[in-house]
Structure 1
């Protein structure tokens, strides 16, 4: 017996707007960074690109949730987000390593930087980030995809601040060494995101239990439902981000002999899981106690 909850669609319009602005900032910072010779600005462009990928995944996640399933893909296209996250994580890790190698090479002999040009691009980037934070602020309180996008833009804002600080110091004191130092700071902002993405992808592909979910507590809640005697073969995994899935064999008492009673227990289980664990898709196999005993003898 299965039950499925509706998937949230998110605030696609705001996400698309912020994504478009972020991509424009990426192009601006990439071009100016190459012209001005600023590794810090190029690093921030990579940071913006990585967070744009995060915004894109949030937008895609809210869109593909509406795609119908098929006989071949019974869960629809939800796992495409996981594939994109894996590619993004590997790309970020490679870029982060490249930034560190370039920055270390520049520390010994920092090149001259066109500080006014870098400062202008940094200001534009920070302004766009502030607008993005304003657009996503209300949605971040209502939708977890938008909240993730909000944090992406906040990270971009911190990167822009690092660029502004280094460019200002270079403009005032001529300390060109601050540019590779700022790029190392930005790389330090990128690395945790890359590792977190890859760790999450590995967990999903290995069908690990969702982070923060106490399986023993889940088992106690299920067995605490009236009419349920025991539960076994309990499996909980993540189909994609924010979409936990579970299945279980539920042993019911002898009084559960009619379909109406079975539906009552199913409704109780569904209410329990949705209220306490935010599990949106669950499948239960009801079994009488005699079946469990017979199964134990068979496998014993």
Structure 2
């Protein structure tokens, strides 16, 4: 799971669940050992606070990224203004409006926009150039 946890939110969630279970079990075992050997019963509360903090922090990161996908927010690593400038720079593109970029799922970024193409250029050729450029520069895999 660890190897693929950076590529998919679903796998990352499963990995964090397994890791949280392991940390919880280790915390309970360690706290139990401390209580049995020393009689210090606050070890249980201390372990619980540590485990709860670990789960809260790791879940918050996953939740924040998941909400970005659900709300169709622009991916954090992509500057929309820069993408718009790059689209305008393609030969044959006169104007760009209604530009939207969002993450469909982990690693799958989509873009939609209205690009005004000069009459002298073939629209399909300009679209192919845009698709190739956006995929190579920004990792955008779906363009309309």
The TM tier, using the shorter chain, reads: 0.7 to 0.9
In structure 2, distance between residues paired with 1:219 and 1:161: 50
1:232-247 equivalent positions in 2, closer than 5 A: 232-247=97-112
1:40-189 equivalent positions in 2, closer than 5 A: 136=1, 139-140=3-4, 144-145=7-8, 148=12, 151-152=15-16, 153-189=18-54
1:170-249 equivalent positions in 2, closer than 5 A: 170-249=35-114
TM-score by length of 1: 0.41
- Residue 215 of structure 1: CA displacement? 0.7
Number of residues of Structure 1 aligned to a counterpart in Structure 2 = 142
**Tell me, which stretches of 5 or more residues in structure 2 are unaligned?**
none
TM-score by length of 2: 0.77
- Residue 164 of structure 1: CA displacement? 3.3
Q: CA 1:268 to 1:216, structure 2 compared with 1: closer, same or farther past 3 Å?
A: same
In structure 1, distance between residues paired with 2:66 and 2:11: 19
- Please report the RMSD computed on the Cα atoms of aligned residues, expressed in angstroms: 2.8
Task: Give the structure with the larger helix fraction.
Answer: 1
Task: Give the structure with the larger strand fraction.
Answer: 2
- Residue 232 of structure 1: CA displacement? 1.4
**What's the counterpart of residue 279 of structure 1?**
140
**What's the counterpart of residue 262 of structure 1?**
123
* Contact 2:13-2:62 at 8 Å conserved across structures: no
Whether 1:251 and 2:116 are equivalent positions in the alignment is: yes
**What's the counterpart of residue 15 of structure 1?**
none
